[in-house]
Amino acid sequence: MDSLLTLISPSALVLSFGVALLAGLVKGMVGFAMPMILISGLGSFLSPELALAGLILPTLATNAIQALQHGAGAALGSLRRFRIFLGCGLTFLLLSSQLVRVLPVEVLLAMIGAPVAVFCALQIAGWRPHLKNGQTPLVEATVGSVAGFLGGMSGVWGPPMVAYLTAIDTEKREQIRIQGVAYGLGAVALVAAHTLSGVLNAQTVKFSALMLAPALLGMWVGMRIHDRIDQTTFRRITLWVLLIAALNLLRRAFFA
């Protein structure tokens, strides 16, 4: 713990627990947005690298739960259906993750904040993309590559995937399940990639491990109230919070 406190103050650690609790709550209720909330929230008062390290283990654990909630057979079926997306996404995630340690802090903040801000703004404005030809290999490979490239640098690969699944009218249960499978595989790759990049090391892994308890508690609560709230309204509020957080990251990138 003493070595961890050289990276983060006690007050910042408590605040981090609150961010992880909120991220887990939203994850349990709507099935996504944990990395966006964690990287945007933690990145507002921690270094980008420490924020990125902090989200890795909570993301891995919560997505394993989400992917397997309908059984291993259903998860494997979704894995086969979206194998092109997942293969391209994981490849680009591994490649782009190595850029984290060489990019200036300002550039990394901008690359994290910009895609989150754009996605949130478009969703708030009512944009719902639709692909009339449905699931095609070319589009799947393209969107998967973009999602993986962003995910390797920021830990956030959900927005392109959510947009794609919505555009091809994926059934609700499968959409939740494949997100868990994809984000879970991405989280495994992220652990490996950022162990190599140095972002996840003997000190930062302790911080990431401490984020597990509040994230899992939040997810448990979120899953319990999943059917008791108006998810559309809650998701819209979440998007506004994310947009504000992402704009704050852009402020730090360009005006700090």
Alpha-carbon span 98 to 38, nearest angstrom: 20
The answer to whether the CB of 240 falls within 8 A of the CB of 124 is yes
Token pair of 240 as six digits = 């506004």
Question: Into how many domains does the chain fold?
Answer: 1
Alpha-carbon span 21 to 38, nearest angstrom: 10
What would the DSSP string read from start to end of 90-107? HHHHHHHGGGTTTS-HHH
Range of the domain at 142: 4-255
Question: Of 239, 250, 252, 248, which is closest to residue 36 (Cα–Cα)?
Answer: 239
133: three-class secondary structure by DSSP: coil
Alpha-carbon span 191 to 205, nearest angstrom: 10
Question: Of 29, 32, 246, which is closest to residue 121 (Cα–Cα)?
Answer: 246
The label of the residue with tokens 């709507």 reads 30
C-alpha count within 13 angstroms, C-beta hemisphere, residue 226: 14
pLDDT in tens, the chain (256 residues): 667 778 899 999 999 999 999 999 989 888 888 988 898 899 989 998 999 999 999 999 999 999 998 899 999 999 999 999 999 998 998 888 888 778 787 887 888 888 888 888 988 998 877 777 778 899 999 999 988 888 887 777 777 888 888 888 888 778 888 989 988 888 888 899 889 989 999 999 999 999 999 999 999 998 888 778 776 777 788 788 788 888 988 888 898 6
- Phi and psi at residue 129, to the nearest 5°: -65, 150
SS (H, E, C) 33-73: CHHHHHHHHHCCCCCHHHHHHHHHHHHHHHHHHHHCCCCHH
239: three-class secondary structure by DSSP: helix
Question: Of 82, 25, 30, 35, which is closest to residue 57 (Cα–Cα)?
Answer: 35
